[in-house]
Amino acid sequence: MLVLIDDANLEAIKRIYEFYPCDGVTTNPSILKKQGENPMEVLKAIREFLPDGAQLHAQVVSLTAEKMIDEAHHMLEVLGKDTYIKIPVTSEGIKAMKLLSKENANITATAIYTSMQAFIAAKAGARYTAPYVNRLDNMGADGVQVAKDIHDMFKMHGLNADVLAASFKNSQQVLNLCKYGIGSITAAPDVIEGLIKHDATANAVEVFTKDFYSLVGEGNTMENL
């Protein structure tokens, strides 16, 4: 399962990259707004930081297919390879996906709330489809189940598309999709950090360190024995 960082703050992205295995970064216009800077400059800085092969997902904001395609061309030119153009699953968006996929552009269908939206986007050529897990949960729907249904439908119909599950608020949502073999998830830095946090682990490390120090003296490690 690919793990992407759903953020545009370069310091936060660097911190997560330093400690955790990651496969790229996803953004949307609201995430970019939080930076309060020229969004293209923010995206360029993220691209410069990311290692070769890492994915960068960035969204078009135009409302017609023709304008979305112009915007996508510009973004691909500026941000280079391994850029995924996020396009919402409106009718104009689906039209843009159909046309852009003919040029072999990498497309991520976004703002997905139903499995049929994802199915149609994949048929239109989207490589990834992003169901909003937590937003669905907040609506009284089952976000994890929608993501699982999409995953199953892609397999059943032999579509060359994966789920890029998005909008997470806790580890349980991520775990449920991980256990199901979902292709990829994107989560905010705090959710990624929460994936390994456990008080019992911290306590165990504390006891191990104390026992070792009582044996060989405070501050000593295997390195100086």
Concerning whether 86 is annotated as a catalytic residue, the answer is: yes
Which among 94-102, 117-125, 128-136, 151-159 is the span making contact with ligand E4P, rule CB under 6 A? 128-136
Structure tokens at 38: 């020229």
Nearer CB in complex with ligand E4P: 12/212: 12
Q: Choose, by CB under 6 A, the member of 83, 115, 167, 171 that binds ligand E4P.
A: 167
Contact status: 135 vs ligand E4P (CB under 6 A): yes
Contact status: 28 vs ligand E4P (CB under 6 A): yes
Contact 89, 112 (CB under 8 A): yes
Q: Choose, by CB under 6 A, the member of 134, 171, 173, 184 that binds ligand E4P.
A: 134
Which among 36-44, 72-80, 131-139, 150-158 is the span making contact with ligand E4P, rule CB under 6 A? 131-139
Residue window 180-209: x/- pattern of binding to ligand E4P, with contact defined by CB under 6 A: ------x-----------------------
Q: How many CB atoms lie within 10 A of CB 47?
A: 18
Contact status: 137 vs ligand E4P (CB under 6 A): no
Contact 104, 75 (CB under 8 A): no
Nearer CB in complex with ligand E4P: 154/186: 186
Contact 122, 129 (CB under 8 A): yes
Contact status: 171 vs ligand E4P (CB under 6 A): no
Q: How far is the CB of 14 from ligand E4P (least distance, A)?
A: 20
Catalytic residue among 14, 86, 123, 169: 86
Residues that bind ligand E4P (CB under 6 A): 6, 26, 28, 110, 130, 132, 134-135, 166-167, 186
